[in-house]
Amino acid sequence: MGFLMKKRWQRRHLLEAFMKFIMRVSLVIVAAALGLILWIIVVRGLPALSWDMVTKIPEGGYYMGKGGGILNAILGSLYLAAGGTFLAMIFSVPIAIYLKAYLGDSKWGHYVRLSLDVLWGIPSIVYGAFGFTLMIALGIRASLLAGIIILALIELPIMTRAMDEVIRRMPIDLEYAALALGSTKFEVALRVVTRQMLPGITTAILLGFGRGIGDAASVLFTAGYTDRIPTSLMRPTASLPLAVFFQLGSPYPEVQQRGYAAALILTVIVLAVSLGSRWLSSRLNKYTIK
Amino acid sequence: MDAHIQVKNLNVYYGKQQALKDVNIEVPKKQITVIMGPSGCGKTTLLKSLNRFLEITDGAQITGEVLVDGQNIYDSEVDVTEVRKVVGLLAQRPSPLPMSIYDNVVYGMNIHRMKKDRKEYKAAVRHYLEIAGLWEEVHKRLHDPATSLSIGQQQRLCLARGLAVEPEIILGDEPTSALDPISSQNIESRLIDLKQQYTTVIVTHTLRQAKRLADHVIYMYMGEVIEAGLAKEIFSSPKHERTKQYLEGLF
Amino acid sequence: MNQIITSKSTKETTGRLTRPVPTPRTRQNNFAQRTFFIFTLLPVSLILIVTIALLVRSWPILNAYPLSNLLFGNIWKPTNGLFGFWPFILGTFWVSIVGIILAVPLCLLTSIYLAEYAQSKTRSIAKPVLDLLAAIPPVVYGVWGLLAIVPFVDKVLAPLSDRWLGSIPIFSVNQPTGFGILAAGIVLAVMIAPLIISVMYEIFSTVPNDLRHASLAVGATQWQTIRNIILPQVAPGIIAAIVLGASRALGETIAVLMVVGNIPQVPTSIFDSAYPLPALIANNYGEMMSIPLYDAALLSAALVLLLVILVFNILSMLVIQRMLRRKWAS
């Protein structure tokens, strides 16, 4: 009787094995793509990386292979991304709190979330073009400020949704308990939600920062490019993605090499931010009620 | 006693937590065996080890043997889908597949390519719906979605779907706990009718249901089998102190 | 009842129970509510503002030429006043479609594996891999494309295709440089994969486990369960995830621009160079104020891109959000 249950290689079993196999292959391809990207960037970027690259600004003839570095772009990108993230946070924190504390799953809450998701999908080149129209309308030139404003718009939906996703998982009982004790919704928002939001805010800041520092198409229009370190919000500024982009466009091999090195620097910053956010949110999550 | 299923030295771990401790039992052929015990005692884990459903649970580790007709179903030579064809399961909540009543019954037969043509499938659908006591109620609307049935009807449909793949053993994981009293009674009487042809293992949390159904009883506590044997004997004179306490309703 | 709530707040609240006189606390609450509400207007109105701003700035050219001339015109010579978007629109679609065709099987299989087969350990490794892939900036993808994919297309894929598929027009190799639609498509496929995979994964997890178990319990294999039960349930969400991925592909600028060749022509083969709309906008922003109507033309290109992407995005998001809400509800 027992032999009834013996493995028989029917068509469906072959299909099962085959599907499982190509699924594993797909997963390996996706993981290998990440590995390949990192490997190529490291192998090609590392030889050109030097102390000068990260501590000096371009000297005369830099773009023909002479000395200097891309400190202007590194600092410019940090200013841009930090400014954009800060500005986006001012708006995204209240929106995320409002979504949780007041709107919940109401219709308006649904529309706000939908519009955030749609904003998330608008490509940065369109934000860049929009920034350009704004700059013409307001009469400002390509500058750190314009770049920060546009990056803030790009980061806003990412950061708000990241916070929203975290606090949405917050148990509703906690909120009711606070309301039942006679708190107003604002007090609930301020005390309970914000404390619970801490991991969400941290994740959001790092996500937004990572997105902001890597964005090229929007700063192309709004922040311009310069060899100097920006000293004022109204001055144009260099950025790492554009430093990569422009240097790769150069006919000089030395300059192209530095483009790869710049790409490596950018990748390291972005990966550090991304891994940091994972680590921080896993740590912070321990201190909140799940 | 003619044992249909023999469980030997079965240990189950979820991560570090041990859910079953060295379980050794025998399930007699064509009778109803009821597994009972307080919640969290490992009843459902034991039941799910019998059709290899534990493997679906992430991180469950199993050692020991489960023999069906002398064949270890955990043997690497054994095909898990064949095991589940031989050992059917009636779940706790009715789970009609998102298709018509007719297609629900056909589903398993189709998976195993058990019938040759539409006529045979039609006859089989009628046959199993009759066994499940559902034919009269649904034969005019076989192509309505299964979710349009009442909960009690859905559970009988699931019974028909399970029987349609011609199992030898039926497992019931608290199969009436989601149902109203009348539907529960309906399912219970089906199970009693079916024990002529099928070996049945039921997990239940209500003592009264155990008393109504059981030919054999397995009493479990904290992942261990405390006592197993004929229902008459255990209900009238339990040997073990814990079983006595449970039967007296002390916990 | 009143006795029980005896505490410091009693004085404040006794009046409120009978007559709604706003206390400082409720006034603070109302003020906060209004302020917060204004903040939520921002995302909703931003979509409109961006659209209107681009519309206003591109109005001169929309006024000067019939829309069909712009969209379907074949010639792009801004100095002669000829603004035909057709090669660029086609370039955008070619690149995106190749990217999607490459990404969909990869993403579908990977997400099914992660959702239905993988142990939690595999998932906990896959999640950061996807996060990192999503975090890599477009320009780095561009560098990778330049260093790895373009040579790969040039040295491996093009000769292979030339040998075996050369007689089929869309696989014929006319300009052997490696730069072109296929290289851009491969880069895009990897770029949009993390998003598509995670959306698909979420969609798969909306299917209740009871259905999986019901199918497995009668002896179905896992693939039979997926094919017969799960895929029909999630089909709308899968399509929405693909559309969402397509909308990302349509708008990708820098990475595509670096590997696509940027030749304004109507492509006929996946090995041809193309010139997608985003690349057009990015490459010419410098001189766009120097030629009449040039800025309006480029901003109208951005507008066209925005409108297509908005439609794709809104449709797919509505489907996805509805499917995910069904999960929350159950």
Confidence of residue B173 (pLDDT cuts 50, 70, 90): very high
Phi-psi region of A250 (alpha: psi -120 to 50; beta: other; left: phi over 0): beta
Q: Determine whether the interchain pair B111/C233 forms a contact, defined as Cβ–Cβ distance below 8 Å.
A: no
CATH numbers and ranges of domains, chain A? 76-237 (1.10.3720.10)
pLDDT in tens, A88-140: 999 998 888 888 777 777 788 888 889 999 999 999 999 999 999 999 888 88
pLDDT in tens, C14-73: 444 555 566 777 777 777 777 778 888 888 899 999 999 999 999 999 999 998 888 998
Spatial separation of the C-alpha atoms in residues A265 and A285, rounded to whole Å: 30
Spatial separation of the C-alpha atoms in residues B11 and B74, rounded to whole Å: 13
Residue C330 near chain B (CB below 8 Å): no
SS (H, E, C) B8-52: EEEEEEECCEEEEEEEEEEEECCCEEEEECCCCCCHHHHHHHCCC
pLDDT at C175: 77
Cβ under 8 Å to B: A residues 61-120: none
| Secondary structure E strands in chain B | 3-14, 17-28, 32-36, 60-68, 71-72, 87-90, 169-173, 199-203, 216-221, 224-230
Confidence of residue B55 (pLDDT cuts 50, 70, 90): confident
Q: Determine whether the interchain pair A132/C128 forms a contact, defined as Cβ–Cβ distance below 8 Å.
A: no
Output the CA torsion sign for B175, B179, B180, B185. negative
Other Cβ atoms within 10 Å of B24 Cβ, number: 13
The model's pTM: 0.90
Mutation target for B interface from C213, C218, C330: give the one with most B CBs within 10 A: C218
Cβ(B189)–Cβ(B158) under 8 Å?
no
Spatial separation of the C-alpha atoms in residues A122 and C48, rounded to whole Å: 12
SS (H, E, C) B96-109: CCCCEHHHHHHHHH
Q: Is the model's pLDDT at A185 over the cut of 80?
A: no
If one compares C142 and A287, the residue with the highest pLDDT of the two is: C142
- Say which range, A71-75, B74-78, B86-90, C89-93, has the weakest mean pLDDT: B74-78
Region B39-44 average pLDDT: 88
Calculate what percentage of chain A has a pLDDT beyond 70: 89
User: Mean pLDDT for chain A?
Assistant: 86
Spatial separation of the C-alpha atoms in residues B71 and B8, rounded to whole Å: 12
Residue C28 near chain A (CB below 8 Å): yes
Residue of chain A with shortest Cα separation from B85: A5
Q: Determine whether the interchain pair A275/C128 forms a contact, defined as Cβ–Cβ distance below 8 Å.
A: yes
- Say which range, A25-39, A247-261, C195-209, C285-299, has the weakest mean pLDDT: C285-299
Token output for A211:
């997105």
In the block, residue with structure tokens 């975090």: C135
If one compares C22 and A206, the residue with the highest pLDDT of the two is: A206
CATH numbers and ranges of domains, chain C? 86-292+316-329 (1.10.3720.10)
Spatial separation of the C-alpha atoms in residues B20 and B5, rounded to whole Å: 17
Cβ under 8 Å to B: A residues 5-34: 5-8, 12-13
pLDDT at B77: 86
pLDDT at C79: 85
- Say which range, A15-29, A175-189, C40-54, C171-185, has the weakest mean pLDDT: A175-189
Selecting from A44, A97, A156 the residue whose C-beta is nearest the C-beta of C43 gives A156
In the block, residue with structure tokens 């509505």: C318
Distance of alpha carbon A38 from the chain centroid: 18
Q: Is the model's pLDDT at B246 over the cut of 70?
A: yes
pLDDT at C292: 82
C contacts of A270 (beta carbons < 8 Å): 135-137, 140
Give whole-number Cα distances, B11 to B8, B164, B231, in Å.
Answer: 9, 32, 25
Region C317-323 average pLDDT: 91
User: What is the secondary structure of C300-328 as a DSSP string?
Assistant: HHHHHHHHHHHHHHHHHHHHHHHHHHHHH
pLDDT in tens, C103-124: 999 999 999 999 999 988 899 9
Selecting from A24, A134, A263 the residue whose C-beta is nearest the C-beta of C53 gives A134
User: Mean pLDDT for chain C?
Assistant: 88
pLDDT at C56: 94
ipTM (interface predicted TM): 0.93
Phi, psi of B64 (to 5 degrees): 110, -170
Spatial separation of the C-alpha atoms in residues A36 and C133, rounded to whole Å: 11
Residue whose C-alpha is closest to residue B37's, from B194, B230, B210: B210
Closest chain B C-alpha to C107 CA, distance in angstroms: 23
Confidence of residue C140 (pLDDT cuts 50, 70, 90): very high
pLDDT at C22: 67
Spatial separation of the C-alpha atoms in residues C329 and C201, rounded to whole Å: 18
Q: Is the model's pLDDT at C11 over the cut of 50?
A: no
pLDDT in tens, C174-231: 877 899 999 999 999 999 999 999 999 999 999 999 999 999 999 999 999 999 999 9
Residue of chain B with shortest Cα separation from C233: B98
Confidence of residue B250 (pLDDT cuts 50, 70, 90): low
CATH numbers and ranges of domains, chain B? 3-247 (3.40.50.300)
Burial (CB count within 10 angstroms: exposed 0-12, middle 13-18, buried 19+), residue B117: exposed
Task: Tell me the three state secondary structure of residue A135.
Answer: helix
Cβ(C300)–Cβ(C69) under 8 Å?
no
Q: Determine whether the interchain pair A1/B71 forms a contact, defined as Cβ–Cβ distance below 8 Å.
A: yes
Residue of chain B with shortest Cα separation from C120: B58
Expressed in angstroms, the distance from the first to the final Cα of chain B is 31
Spatial separation of the C-alpha atoms in residues C181 and C95, rounded to whole Å: 5
Residue C208 near chain A (CB below 8 Å): no
Kindly give, in sequence order, each residue whose CB lies less than 8 Å from that of residue A8, ignoring residues fewer than 6 positions away.
B79, B82
pLDDT at C3: 43
If one compares B207 and A174, the residue with the highest pLDDT of the two is: B207
- Say which range, A36-50, B48-62, B83-97, B156-170, has the weakest mean pLDDT: B48-62
Q: Determine whether the interchain pair B82/A4 forms a contact, defined as Cβ–Cβ distance below 8 Å.
A: yes
pLDDT in tens, B114-152: 888 999 999 999 999 999 999 999 999 999 999 999 999
Residue of chain A with shortest Cα separation from B71: A2
Mutation target for A interface from B6, B51, B79: give the one with most A CBs within 10 A: B79
Region C258-274 average pLDDT: 92
How many interface pairs between B and C have CB atoms less than 8 angstroms apart?
65
pLDDT at A54: 87
Region B13-40 average pLDDT: 91
Closest chain A C-alpha to B218 CA, distance in angstroms: 25
Spatial separation of the C-alpha atoms in residues C269 and C158, rounded to whole Å: 11
Task: Tell me the three state secondary structure of residue B251.
Answer: coil
Neighbours of B (≥3 Cβ pairs closer than 8 A)?
A, C
Say which amino acid occupies C157: L
Residue of chain B with shortest Cα separation from A2: B71
pLDDT at A285: 63
pLDDT at A278: 82
Q: Is the model's pLDDT at A178 over the cut of 90?
A: no
Q: Is the model's pLDDT at C12 over the cut of 50?
A: no
pLDDT in tens, A254-269: 899 999 999 999 999 9
Q: Is the model's pLDDT at C253 over the cut of 90?
A: yes
Region C311-325 average pLDDT: 91
Q: Find residue B33's DSSP bridge partners.
A: B201, B216
pLDDT at B39: 84
Strand-strand pairing, B216-221 and B224-230 = antiparallel
Neighbours of C (≥3 Cβ pairs closer than 8 A)?
A, B
Q: Determine whether the interchain pair A27/C252 forms a contact, defined as Cβ–Cβ distance below 8 Å.
A: no
The interaxial angle of helices C294-329 and C181-204, nearest 10 deg, is: 30
Selecting from C107, C136, C223 the residue whose C-beta is nearest the C-beta of A270 gives C136
Region C8-17 average pLDDT: 47
Give whole-number Cα distances, B191 to B149, B176, B187, B201, B207, in Å.
Answer: 20, 11, 6, 10, 17
Determine the longest span between alpha carbons in chain A, in angstroms: 88
pLDDT at C327: 65
